[in-house]
Structure 1
């Protein structure tokens, strides 16, 4: 054991020495048909490079001032020699071992703006990819893009560079095409044998990646007035309330499908991670007042509305009503700090939508993979009356009946229901191949796949609940 600890200490000291003697350059991602020199002129790229350089310097890396060099190339005609010449001057002439290519995208969320940072680290000797990662800052109301870049970069820096250095020494490369990781990354523990050398230690990462994440069909259509609310509740604050594994991943990929396959404009998607009770009230309104954010976004009789939720649900045994569980809720006091399913349906029934799809990867039984959220209760058969159930222009898909649990699907890093819903709208449910997936088709597909997988994976019964006109077209 002592020898192993000494070896691990040696490895981290060695990596630190590598950093202290290492020069690095950061290049902006160049769009297709663009030039490196022009990419440096983009204001957000300038802030991105400045922010990332500050993080590298704090970690004892020596920075190649690429911005000054590119400015010199512009002044003396070097930019006209082409991208390859510019890149060679930045990388080869500075005798680098590694170089970084990055792209920043500024986005707006429900709680403010945030940045997504796509980072690639390459072997400078052959320009082969060593590691690729995507990170994002927290949502906040700020105009300081550089600070957001630094925040996003710091989150993944140690893991990113540790992997890059180890892979550089082992000459282990990532072959393109290889998609960016959209959700989080789970680090695997690496066993270090006593006789291992530094060069043999390669940090491996397991990405949360499913076949439905990387095979997202892209449609040219744009549904200009369509509005969506997407909620992923994974991390609960109350002690003893387990996380809903993959809920944030579910929500993130649902958003990708809405944009790429269903034609929703990104700015029309209200996306909330770990929603509180205040968030639910702001989104859907309160009892007797439906005019929350969703109501205000909708254009009467023009907007197709899509609502998705992945998270906990529980019953109130006394009223036999179901509740969404916000992340700041004590489930034992759900009638006071939850969000009532009946209020939800009453309020969305008053939204002047053109059509409505509600997709809920939740069980309102209180059952989870880690046990019951409410102790010592018997199954409750939820009573909910709402006009949405009788609306020909509305459909509701729920993962399980009110006395069942909504299962997770670890092999695919999704909720079981969400995975097969996405698989279905990809085309697997379109049994007649007419490019129109109807409620009848996806209902049959979901019930067959989910009931079988729930028995196989978890030895339990799970039957999705489907409401609406069978001929309703879910995806065209």
Structure 2
């Protein structure tokens, strides 16, 4: 196949300007490949059988045709100019250019003209307006309370609404909205995430390049050493054989948030698993019907507000005859100026706290609903630290001690850590340390445990195990409203 007279036992690397290896020779067979494919060449030319990743499937046939035309030698183009133009590097640049052009055309031809918007009642605690969009979604606009009356008054006639389009799941979609009133622009908070890493493979036509025009570098096989990473073994015992209770808690509702994959900051190890397994315990062990369990994975600001709105509606429908379990695993952040604590939505950044949920606002919202009891489990810390080593907020590298928020209503709050401490993971178990011992006690007791016993168990085991496995202190805390102070220890999570 290849015109080589001798066996070659070393690896040969061909580099284009990016330094990417494009072929190697092993024995007497020459293989040419890019990052995504390889092909057999024919001497005296090398065939770059490029298999380029195109980010959007809808653009694939258009780009394939355009690239074929781009690769053709023009009638008025010299051979040397053509060979200089049609290279692997230039082809990749051309693909990106064509992708961008076709994306713009695709979005412009798929815009909707039938959107109808309804402005709902203002939420002063979170300084947001819900906006209902018929047959689409409910979104939330952050409007400062001082501007809210004018915004509502001018809504019908003076607020200009602009949908912002992008690609979601390889289709045209509205990813956010902008609301303009005068010189002020307000943006929706529950934005969708456009496709960034999704891609489709596309086979592009071959590019012919002279071997003589490229430099070849030899690298002996003996210098190539495989790098291995230790594999962590996770004990999933707590996730299996979850006890099933005969109790049916039809009037208990669980709202469970697991924020692990953040768009702008480090992830929270095991937060998704925390949320999913806790939801299984709520169903199987505490007896909640599946429809009573609302699980939100990587929840945005809007989704969290939507969950609180749903909770309020359920409370009103049941006229207060409900129990509520609210669980959150994810990042918490402090305001460095006033030490206020915030929940960090999956689409937010710590430097823009206006798109984060104040803990005081959360406690105020759930404390104001009409319910027999509301039990909150907060597997997060609010010092600016994260589950693994490092900080997500403080540029000084120092944990900040947040203010202690006052709990009102029939609310009891279990927090994973105290003050400036960090809520750590329990890597060997695949959970947050706090959540692991919460689940462990539910499993051991089959859910029949008082909040007092649960609190004592979690506090003792987390504080001890944190020193052993993380070499750091972590002290869970329990706080309650004044009316629950004398009774919460005898309460249970389920209702018969």
TM-score with structure 1 length normalisation? 0.52
Supply the distance in 2 between the matched residues of 1:453 and 1:209 (Cα, whole angstroms). Answer: 16
Matched, 1:267 2:285: no
Q: Select which of 212, 221, 231 maps to 2:247.
A: 221
Is this contact kept in 2: 1:425–1:475, CA < 8 A? no
- Measure how far apart 1:221 and its partner are: 2.1
Matched, 1:364 2:390: no
Supply the distance in 2 between the matched residues of 1:208 and 1:475 (Cα, whole angstroms). Answer: 30
Q: Select which of 297, 304, 321 maps to 2:323.
A: 304
Is this contact kept in 1: 2:334–2:382, CA < 8 A? yes
User: What is residue 442 of structure 1 aligned with on the other side?
Assistant: 454
User: What is residue 443 of structure 2 aligned with on the other side?
Assistant: 426
- Measure how far apart 1:242 and its partner are: 0.9
Change (3 A) 1:372 1:260: same
Task: Please identify, of 341-350 and 216-225, the stretch whose mean Cα deviation from structure 2 is larger.
Answer: 216-225
Supply the distance in 1 between the matched residues of 2:283 and 2:275 (Cα, whole angstroms). Answer: 13
Supply the distance in 2 between the matched residues of 1:341 and 1:310 (Cα, whole angstroms). Answer: 14
- Measure how far apart 1:209 and its partner are: 5.6
Matches within 5 A, 1:127-166: none
- Measure how far apart 1:269 and its partner are: 1.3
Q: SS state of the match for residue 368, structure 2?
A: coil
Q: SS state of the match for residue 372, structure 1?
A: coil
User: What is residue 426 of structure 2 aligned with on the other side?
Assistant: 409
User: What is residue 38 of structure 1 aligned with on the other side?
Assistant: none
Q: SS state of the match for residue 473, structure 1?
A: coil
Matches within 5 A, 1:6-405: 210-238=236-264, 241-284=265-308, 292-298=309-315, 299-334=318-353, 336-368=354-386, 369-374=388-393, 375-376=395-396, 377-388=398-409, 391=410, 394-405=411-422
- Measure how far apart 1:310 and its partner are: 0.4
Q: Report how many aligned residue pairs link the two structures.
A: 273
Deviations 1:430-456 (A, max 9, x none): 5xx9x7311221122111111111111
Supply the distance in 1 between the matched residues of 2:11 and 2:234 (Cα, whole angstroms). Answer: 34
More helix by share: 1
Supply the distance in 2 between the matched residues of 1:458 and 1:209 (Cα, whole angstroms). Answer: 17
Is this contact kept in 1: 2:235–2:428, CA < 8 A? no
Q: Which has the higher contact order (CA 8 A, sep 6+)?
A: 2
Supply the distance in 2 between the matched residues of 1:207 and 1:270 (Cα, whole angstroms). Answer: 30
- Measure how far apart 1:225 and its partner are: 2.4
Supply the distance in 2 between the matched residues of 1:466 and 1:348 (Cα, whole angstroms). Answer: 16
Deviations 1:62-94 (A, max 9, x none): xxxxxxxxxxxxxxxxxxxxxxxxxxxxxxxxx
Supply the distance in 1 between the matched residues of 2:404 and 2:239 (Cα, whole angstroms). Answer: 35
Change (3 A) 1:5 1:351: farther
- Measure how far apart 1:475 and its partner are: 5.4
Structure 1: tracts of 5 or more residues without a match:
7-110, 113-137, 141-154, 156-193, 195-204, 285-291
Q: SS state of the match for residue 474, structure 2?
A: coil
Is this contact kept in 2: 1:358–1:395, CA < 8 A? yes
Supply the distance in 2 between the matched residues of 1:385 and 1:475 (Cα, whole angstroms). Answer: 25
- Measure how far apart 1:338 and its partner are: 0.5
Q: SS state of the match for residue 248, structure 2?
A: coil
Q: Larger Cα Rg: Structure 1 or Structure 2?
A: 2
Is this contact kept in 2: 1:320–1:383, CA < 8 A? no
- Measure how far apart 1:381 and its partner are: 3.3
Change (3 A) 1:454 1:415: same
User: What is residue 176 of structure 2 aligned with on the other side?
Assistant: none
